[in-house]
Amino acid sequence: MLIVQGKDDQYGTLKQLEVARDECFCPVETVVLVGARHSPQRDKPKETLAAAAGFINRLLQDHREAERGAA
């Protein structure tokens, strides 16, 4: 799971990220974007997209999906 949160999120706290990492049964990856609030996709669109793309690419590589797509 990927959680992207703005450092200055006016509705959430960074403690939520810690709880997710501690309590979820799956691996949790977190990204905190400086200069972003509750909508990081609006406040920092390039950084949010880069975080999501990097996460997805790592998943594809871990599951060898990239090799299947090239075949």
Per-residue model confidence (pLDDT) at position 22 = 95
Residue 43 pLDDT: 98
CA separation for the pair 59, 65 (Å, rounded): 8
Nearest to 5 by CA among 39, 29, 28: 39
| Whole-number pLDDT of residue 63 | 82
d(C-alpha 57, C-alpha 37), whole Å: 26
Burial class (CB within 10 angstroms; exposed 0-12, middle 13-18, buried 19+) of 31: buried
pTM for this model (two decimals):
0.82
Residue 69: pLDDT band by 50, 70, 90 thresholds? low
d(CA 56, CA 71): 19
pLDDT in tens, 13-60: 999 999 999 999 999 999 999 999 999 999 999 999 999 999 999 999
